[in-house]
Amino acid sequence: MQDIKTSLVLVTTLLASLAHAHSWVEALSLLSPNGSFTGNTGYPRGMILRTTPGFNDTNMQWQLPANAGSQLLDNMPMCRPSQQTSNYTDSSLPKLEAYQGANIALRYQENGHVTTPWSKPGKPEHSGVVYVYGTSQPKEDDTLLGIHGQWTLDGKGGDGRGRLLTSQYFDDGQCYQINIGYISADRQAQFHRVAEAGSFQGANLWCQTDVPLPNDLDVGKDYTLYWVWDWSTMDGSGTVTLPELYTTCMDVTIADTKQVGDTGAVVPDGDSKSVPFVSITNYGEAAIQSVFESLSAAPTVPKVTATVPVNITASISYSVAAALLAKGVSSPAAAAQGASAVPLVLATLALSTHATAGAIPAAGAATAAATADSGAPAATSAASVPPTNPPRSADLGGGGECSVQTVTVTVTSTIPSQPQAHSTGSLARRRILALDDDDDDDDDDVFDS
């Protein structure tokens, strides 16, 4: 039983991991007329890879406003300082080469925003909306508010220096990082991805914004893109209460088609609809089909709606049970503990939400817990967690934001491998759930920070 307690402590200690890992464009890919990635990978300005020794999110993240609780100001720069100029000093991290009229994919990690959307209350559906602006005349001192909401699809908005190219939901409907939360698990099955040799992305499926480049760009010149992700906090009616936006700035070299990587054979004919979409053999090597096929139509801006309450209970019991299974605890015991851990975890969540808007320990946290002990055997058995979990109620400290989903979750026989280094951010050990020495049926558990 010590194992069970240790695991529960681990699982619940790893709260708040995902809420602090934010997203930026990690890579750009040129799309073939059939939607497959082609050519060489491109990068944003001032790129630092997550694998760089000493890397942390602040090396690439640009959050506006910088301090939660502040409002947007007119003079807030669009780009982080390292991205305010065409900063490409590392020849191994070059600009994307594309051609005018090409479609390209901007790719980013979801970092739990898609697969653990309950990590912060009041967030928009589909993890918010991404806007991509393009200009041939970037300025070092471009501001967010001078462009975002100003530049329009027809290029006539704001100061007219650029235009809105597309806007899409942050959640492209497929992407995930590998964790044992149920959203990720569902998507791993539906959009299965096998890691290519040496791939930094691994078996995680990065999200993408598929962007149509204008047809009237100058060959040999750079075209600058501003990726703006709006993940503001809203009230129930959809009114923004706290702005929270992230940007990435990048350049694309507009090449003569024949000079673009291995796309020599691809002549943009302006009619990609005439080419059937590539049949997917491995997710993460092509555009999102529905988005890609809509790029030739007149762009629309998706509606931003307030999030609906999510059902988190099943995911908690799933995560706890899976973590225990991974430690060799028998299936029935893991299932029972998974179910009975729910009130404790929800109570802890309620406490940490008050303090810091923390995350619940679905997903990466449980995966980390499951693999934290190197001596732990891999899970070898399956368990059904019965739908006996109570709703998050007032006496558990909850605000009634979450409801209960009565589902049966099955812990499958393998625990996914650890996500890529840094892919879910550092696992902050902020709040420790101290369990009683007695094993079962405790109502007097103590929560310490």
Ligand X SMILES: *[C@@H]1O[C@H](CO)[C@@H](O)[C@H](O)[C@H]1NC(C)=O
- Residue with smaller CB distance to ligand X, 266 or 287: 266
Among residues 104, 106, 126, the alpha carbon closest in space to that of 115 is found at: 126
Instruction: Candidates 58, 137, 408, 413: give the one binding ligand X (CB under 6 A).
Output: 58
Beta-strand ranges (E) seen in 283-423 are 383-385, 409-411
Residue 305: in which H helix or E strand, if any? none
Q: Name 89's Cβ contacts closer than 8 Å, sequence gap at least 6.
A: none
Distances (CA, A) of 400 to 118, 125, 182, 343: 13, 18, 21, 14
Closer residue to ligand X (CB): 337 or 423: 423
Which CB, 311 or 353, lies closer to ligand X?
311
CA distance 228 to 161: 17
Using only C-alpha atoms, the chain has a radius of gyration, in whole angstroms, of 23
* Residue 335 makes contact with ligand X by CB under 6 A: no
Q: Which of 9, 48, 93, 195 binds ligand X (CB under 6 A)?
A: 48
Q: Is 143 in the site for ligand X (CB under 6 A)?
A: no
Q: Verify binding: residue 267, ligand X, rule CB under 6 A.
A: no
Of 32 and 204, which has the nearer Cβ to ligand X?
A: 32
Closest separation between CB of residue 298 and ligand X, Å?
Answer: 25
Residue nearest to ligand X (CB): 46
Beta-sheet strands, E only, within 76-191 = 96-98, 103-108, 129-135, 162-169
Q: Which is nearer to ligand X, 38 or 208 (CB)?
A: 38
- Rule CB under 6 A: say whether 117 interacts with ligand X: no
Coil, helix or strand for 396?
Answer: helix
Torsion over CA: 253, 254, 259, 263 (sign): positive
Q: Kindly tell me which residue out of 46, 77, 146, 162 binds ligand X, with binding defined by CB under 6 A.
A: 46
Nearer to ligand X, 81 or 236 (CB): 81
Alpha-helical (H) ranges within 156-232 are 182-190
The secondary structure element, H or E, covering residue 14 is: none
Judged by CB under 6 A, the residue of 6, 36, 150, 294 near ligand X is 36
What character string, x for contact with ligand X (CB under 6 A) and - otherwise, covers 270-309?
--------x-----------------------------x-
Q: Judged by CB under 6 A, does residue 435 bind ligand X?
A: no
Does 82 participate in binding ligand X (rule CB under 6 A)? yes
409-411 and 129-135 beta bridge pairing: unpaired
Identity of the residue numbered 290: S
Q: Does 38 bind ligand X (CB under 6 A)?
A: yes
User: Phi, psi at residue 332, to the nearest 5°?
Assistant: -60, -40
For ligand X, which stretch binds (CB under 6 A), given 140-148, 185-193, 292-300, 399-407?
399-407
- Chain positions contacting ligand X, by CB under 6 A: 32, 34, 36, 38, 46, 48, 56, 58-59, 81-82, 85, 87, 89, 265-266, 278, 308, 310-311, 403, 405-406
